[in-house]
Amino acid sequence: MNDLWQAITTASDLLLGLDKSLVEIVTRSLGVSLTAVAMATLIGLPLGALLALSRFPGRRVLLVIMNALMGLPPVVVGLVVLLLLSRSGPMGALGLLFTPAAMIIAQTILVLPIIVALSSTVIENLWQEYEEQMMSLGAGPWDRIMALLWDGRFALMTTVLAGFGRANAEVGAVMIVGGNIDHVTRVMTTAIALEASRGDLALALGLGIVLLLLSLAINAASYSVREFARLRYQA
């Protein structure tokens, strides 16, 4: 009990004192996750809208696959990216393995199915509501996509936040492709696992508190966006 209280006290001191190691790890974690989410969003939103509005053979199969990939095991993604980026792999010449870039690639792959699947559902629901109006106006495919993405921006923001939550809490894939190298690829989740195994509970607990606060902030932001959208459409 005394050890736990001491760990909590030390963790509080690290947080309040903005410990250099803690700040470095948190900053790197946010940088990797935000970049991965931005890349997944740029690819996933148009792709989700395209799947929602297009009708072609195999469309439903693709949607089922995307929904299934939302639960893709991170260690599997990490292993696939490791094989691709290893020296004997097809992308080995790029020298990205055990760098933040490799971690961004892995997290992008993990987040992409979430954004595609959820955005496709949002856009398809909007299309059912506005289909007749857009068809009567003669809107082209690109105009439809842009109009529906804009109209569904608040719901899509919650989708992006869900993707960020997935990326920020991920440990398996980034451990495999990043190597958890100090001052290079160590992020919050991998640092917590390492420091806990070392017995340094103070730093692990401090990072855990930051991770928990980020999770709460993401959920609060998602709720706020939904409430804002609800009040806006009721007005």
> Quick one: pLDDT at residue 83?
93
pLDDT tier, 39 (very low <50, low <70, confident <90, very high otherwise): very high
> Quick one: pLDDT at residue 112?
94
> Quick one: pLDDT at residue 64?
87
Mean pLDDT of 33-59: 89
> Quick one: pLDDT at residue 68?
86
Q: Which residue has the higher pLDDT, 151 or 173?
A: 173
Max intra-chain CA distance, the chain? 72
Torsion over CA: 125, 130, 136, 140 (sign): negative
> Quick one: pLDDT at residue 149?
85
pLDDT of 41 strictly over 90: yes
State the architecture of 2-234 in CATH terms.
Orthogonal Bundle (1.10)
> Quick one: pLDDT at residue 2?
54
Mean pLDDT of 27-37: 92
pLDDT of 56 strictly over 90: no
> Quick one: pLDDT at residue 32?
94
Least confident window among 2-6, 105-109, 224-228: 2-6
- Each domain of the chain, given as residue ranges in start order, spans 2-234
> Quick one: pLDDT at residue 172?
86
What is the share, in percent, of the chain residues with pLDDT greater than 90? 24
Q: Which residue has the higher pLDDT, 7 or 224?
A: 224
pLDDT of 3 strictly over 60: no
How many CA atoms are closer than 13 Å to the CA of 187, on its beta-carbon side? 29
Mean pLDDT of 82-98: 89
pLDDT tier, 220 (very low <50, low <70, confident <90, very high otherwise): confident
pLDDT digits (tens, 9 = 90+) for 115-148: 999 999 888 888 888 777 877 777 777 888 888 8
pLDDT digits (tens, 9 = 90+) for 184-193: 898 888 888 8
pLDDT tier, 233 (very low <50, low <70, confident <90, very high otherwise): low
pLDDT of 9 strictly over 80: no
